[in-house]
Amino acid sequence: MMKSKFSIYALLAALIFFSHKALAEKQPSEKVALKSFEFLGCSGDWTEENHQPEIWKMGSDNGLTFLVRHPSSCGSDAGRNPSFNIESGNLNLAYEPYSTIDMYAFCECEFWAKFTFAENLPTVKSATFKNEKSRLKGEWPER
């Protein structure tokens, strides 16, 4: 009976330890805040056959910036609902390009957007845009 109680306590202690460790690993990404988002607009038609977004990582005294280049419907002249999440070292960025006059054209434009964070994100090793694999440019560590 004593051995059974000891096993239960050991199992309980291990369960508490590992659940606390998992929460501690997740907390830093929950504390990260987006300092600013800027929709930079369309720079012309998307002419590449490859439709994968590109993400540039750039650090400065003002924080850490991710510049996103991606294709989307022509006619969008604004961006809204910027969001991000960090999971297993991957930063997923997203926002919604839209038309303020609700008119779109049947073509794809090359859009740009800028996400800036006040602090460095040391756990981020890769990035995606709208959960889509992206071509990484700029100051990324060797992968």
Backbone angles phi, psi at 43, to 5 degrees: -110, 15
Claim to verify: residue 79 and residue 100 sit in the same structural domain = yes
- Does the structure show a pLDDT above 50 at 29? no
Claim to verify: residue 10 and residue 67 sit in the same structural domain = no
Residue 4 confidence (pLDDT): 58
Number of domains, the chain: 2
Claim to verify: residue 26 and residue 46 sit in the same structural domain = no
Q: Are 82 and 34 in contact (CB under 8 A)?
A: yes
Q: Are 33 and 118 in contact (CB under 8 A)?
A: yes
Strand partners, 127: 91
* 143: confidence class by pLDDT, cuts 50, 70, 90: very low
Claim to verify: residue 26 and residue 7 sit in the same structural domain = yes
Residue 140 confidence (pLDDT): 75
Claim to verify: residue 74 and residue 46 sit in the same structural domain = yes
Instruction: Show the domain range for 14.
Output: 1-31
Claim to verify: residue 133 and residue 111 sit in the same structural domain = yes
C-alpha span between 25 and 78 (Å, rounded): 35
Residue 20 confidence (pLDDT): 45
C-alpha span between 36 and 98 (Å, rounded): 19
Claim to verify: residue 23 and residue 66 sit in the same structural domain = no
Q: Are 109 and 24 in contact (CB under 8 A)?
A: no
**pTM (predicted TM-score):** 0.75
Average pLDDT, rounded, for the chain:
83
- What sign does the dihedral 71-74-79-82 (CA atoms) show? negative
C-alpha span between 80 and 124 (Å, rounded): 24
User: What is the identity of the amino acid at 127?
Assistant: A
Closest CA to 53 of 123, 112, 114, 98: 112
Claim to verify: residue 41 and residue 26 sit in the same structural domain = no
Claim to verify: residue 17 and residue 37 sit in the same structural domain = no
Claim to verify: residue 121 and residue 87 sit in the same structural domain = yes
Residue 143 forms part of a structural domain: no
